[in-house]
Amino acid sequence: MHDLALQLAIIGVAGIAAQWIAWRLQIPAIVLLLAVGLVFGPLTGFMNPRADFGELYTPLVSTAVAIILFEGGLTLNFREIRETSTAVRRIVTVAGPLIWLMTALAAHYIGNLSWPTAIILGGLLVITGPTVIMPLLRHAKLKNRPASILRWEAIVNDPIGALFAVLAFEVYLVIHTGHQAENLVFTVLFALVIAIPGGIAAGRFLAWMFSRGEAPEYLKAPILLAAVVGMNSVTNLVLEEGGLLTVTVMGITMANSRIASLADLRRFKETITILLVSGLFIILTASLQPEVIASLEWRVLGFLAVVLFVIRPLAVFLATIGAGLSWRERALVGWIAPRGIVATAVAGLFGSTLADLGVVDGDRMIAYVFAVVAVTILLHGFTLGPLSRLLDLRSSDRPGILIVGASRFTVALARRLKAQDVPVLIADANWSRISRARLAEIDAWYGEVLSEAAHHNLNLSQFDYLLAATDNEAYNALVCTDFGPEMGRSDVYQIGKIADSDRRAMNFTIGGQPLFQPAKGFAELRDLLVDGWNFQATRLTEEFEYERYLETRAEGTHVMLWIRPSGALVFAASEGSGTPSEGDTIISFGPKRAEREQEKIVKATTTEREARAEKARQTADAVKPGEVAG
């Protein structure tokens, strides 16, 4: 296909479709993107982006990778790394060079690659791509410490691994093409001066500019995007792929600056990153030539086995001795190291260049990197969840609820949910109120849930839903509005009445979904508890169906949510929630039934069950041996 506009449209639609299907099926999106790229490219020959894009291919890929790394840097706050700084530092500075050295040796002696190709390949495979790690962490729900280590390593190692490969390539040029070593040393030092201090200076300047109001809100995101592209290009003029380090440092600098609009900027960059990741994986995979894949031989299996099961685990184990990690955390970090876009993109650049310079197996490096990328995406993508569960490093295996506001109502709800093994945590900034939750043996967090401390100290990945239930309806709306983009607008709920007057009603874009229909406020719920209302959990069975359940409830009872056998939660107030079915456990809020009425219901249900059982026995007795009951 040579129509570039149509090709880009197909890649964009296919990429986002793969992301959506992966979300629905709860599988790593990168796996589907890899499959789509293989189908579009080497399997069918439908497109070849490297040939079709021509000279634009390399700069477009480089710019897209820089934007992705900058967005990753925006997620790294130094407050988050305090507990894991030693481990991350050792993994980057000790494990990284060890992996480079051991991978180069394995590539030469096991993969039978020439030394130039093997050394450059070793530098590339230090990289553990954030484009793969981030989606995996989003689904895996790891505990804070291992998740933080994997995220920091992936983002920091991306530019460092690329620089390792660049240095190896430049050394090859010095040895074989007459380049002067003095020029190489000067170039590397000059590039580092631009990359690190330049990235810090650019990040601080933008932070100062945005915090002082020197740029209007509608221009902040475009200015940021232009600055990333510009800083990446300037550093690349001095040292190829050096711009990746610049934009990463720039992103980390801005992440640790107090900018009020940082959350909005981060969401904008995340949207662009999802689009770029989806498109790039398809483009890079579709650009693979069938003959490159066919060049893979039996040696690559031995190389993969050593890289996956020996080099990475050994390097991480040695680097993290005395780093304060448990053996479970070291085992998980030593295994999980999927490679992604940066390794593939840089391999394509240097592989073709080495081939042009006369290195016979230069193109084979592309095939080896693709093999590592494909295998690590599949193995690590599908084993992260089970392994973290086996090592007890998951924050929770079931969807949880974060409740903001401690009161008699929320504590009673939390106790009922906890009895059903639903993870629940109550957060409140008032000590006397949060003490009520602790006395009831409910997990509690004392502090302002909207604070930066909550963002870094609360493991929000274990909570799929939020309920804002304080006595301040405006604050409830604010909490839901703040957490909505992260948890999902359809998964944040609040209590409170809807104002009758248009002057007092909030805009429909503010707040979450009402927990009750019709809505109930804090004072009304408190009064209902005083009147004897409580929470009840009832499991539906074949004999006790939902219609029968409704008949047995006292007047005014509200069905709040139900828990499916899989552990999934369904809130009754959500649009399209449907009705509970057999096996679901209903959590309701309503008045107590009289004991005599309760006894009648239980007796009637028991009598009905016994009658059905008796009828079944009579039917079985009436069937003679060899006959089939009709």
Last residue of a domain, one of 390, 424, 457: 390
For the cut 60, the answer to whether the pLDDT of residue 239 exceeds it is yes
For the cut 50, the answer to whether the pLDDT of residue 630 exceeds it is no
Establish if 395 belongs to a structural domain.
no
Any idea which of 138-152, 221-235, 379-393 has the lowest mean pLDDT? 138-152
Number of H helices, E strands in the chain: 26, 10
Any idea which of 134-148, 177-191, 309-323, 358-372 has the lowest mean pLDDT? 177-191
More confident residue, 85 or 629: 85
- 176 pLDDT band (50/70/90 cuts)? low
- 596 pLDDT band (50/70/90 cuts)? very low
My answer on whether 443 and 553 are in the same domain is: yes
For the cut 70, the answer to whether the pLDDT of residue 24 exceeds it is yes
Establish if 132 belongs to a structural domain.
yes
Q: Is the pTM of this model over 0.75?
A: no
Q: What is the pLDDT of residues 330-341, one digit of tens each?
A: 999 999 988 877
My answer on whether 21 and 44 are in the same domain is: yes
d(CA 318, CA 220) in angstroms, rounded, equals 44
pLDDT the model gives residue 625: 44
More confident residue, 527 or 348: 527
| Mean pLDDT, range 434-453, rounded to an integer | 84
- 620 pLDDT band (50/70/90 cuts)? low
Q: What is the pLDDT of residues 455-471, one digit of tens each?
A: 666 767 778 899 999 98
pLDDT the model gives residue 128: 81
Question: Residue 494 in 3-state DSSP?
Answer: strand
- 157 pLDDT band (50/70/90 cuts)? confident
pLDDT the model gives residue 413: 93
For the cut 60, the answer to whether the pLDDT of residue 388 exceeds it is yes
pLDDT the model gives residue 317: 93
pLDDT the model gives residue 305: 93
Q: Are 505 and 477 in contact (CB under 8 A)?
A: no
My answer on whether 207 and 260 are in the same domain is: yes
pLDDT the model gives residue 268: 74
CATH number at residue 375: 1.20.1530.20
Encoded tokens for 290: 């069938």
What mean pLDDT is reported for the chain?
A: 81
Q: Vertex 371, ends 367 and 376: CA angle to 5°?
A: 150
| Mean pLDDT, range 363-392, rounded to an integer | 86
My answer on whether 54 and 72 are in the same domain is: yes
pLDDT the model gives residue 373: 86
Encoded tokens for 154: 């992936």
- 315 pLDDT band (50/70/90 cuts)? very high
Q: What is the DSSP secondary-structure string of 275-317?
A: HHHHHHHHHHHHT--HHHHHT--HHHHHHHHHIIIIIHHHHHH
My answer on whether 209 and 304 are in the same domain is: yes
My answer on whether 217 and 186 are in the same domain is: yes
CA 359 to chain CA centroid, nearest Å: 40
Q: Are 102 and 315 in contact (CB under 8 A)?
A: yes
Neighbours of 361 (CB within 10 A): 20
Query: Taking the CA atoms of the chain, what radius of gyration do you get in angstroms?
Result: 29
My answer on whether 261 and 212 are in the same domain is: yes
Could you tell me what percent of the chain has a pLDDT over 70? 86
- 501 pLDDT band (50/70/90 cuts)? very low
**101, 233, 494, 504, 520 from 499: Cα distances, Å:** 67, 54, 14, 6, 11
Q: What is the pLDDT of residues 116-154, one digit of tens each?
A: 889 988 988 888 877 678 777 767 778 878 888 888 888
My answer on whether 109 and 235 are in the same domain is: yes
Single-letter amino acid, residue 607 = T
Q: What is the pLDDT of residues 32-43, one digit of tens each?
A: 888 898 899 888
- 627 pLDDT band (50/70/90 cuts)? very low
Establish if 438 belongs to a structural domain.
yes
Sheet holding 463-468, edge to edge: 444-446, 424-428, 400-404, 463-468, 492-494, 513-514
Nearest CA among 42, 40, 33 for reference residue 132: 33
CA 212 to chain CA centroid, nearest Å: 33
Instruction: List all residues 6 or more positions away from 342 whose beta carbon is below 8 Å from its beta carbon.
Output: 65, 69, 127, 129, 131, 158, 161, 162, 244
Range of the domain at 540: 400-593
Q: What is the DSSP secondary-structure string of 564-600?
A: -TTS-EEETTSTT-----TT-EEEEEEPPPPHHHHHH
My answer on whether 165 and 281 are in the same domain is: yes
Q: Are 117 and 364 in contact (CB under 8 A)?
A: yes
My answer on whether 409 and 334 are in the same domain is: no
Highest mean pLDDT among 14-23, 248-257, 508-517: 14-23
For the cut 50, the answer to whether the pLDDT of residue 556 exceeds it is yes
My answer on whether 336 and 463 are in the same domain is: no
Establish if 630 belongs to a structural domain.
no
Phi, psi of 571 (to 5 degrees): -90, 135
My answer on whether 342 and 461 are in the same domain is: no
Instruction: Give me the number of domains the chain comprises.
Output: 2
Q: What is the pLDDT of residues 287-299, one digit of tens each?
A: 877 777 777 778 8
Nearest CA among 410, 423, 429, 524 for reference residue 469: 410
CATH number at residue 417: 3.40.50.720
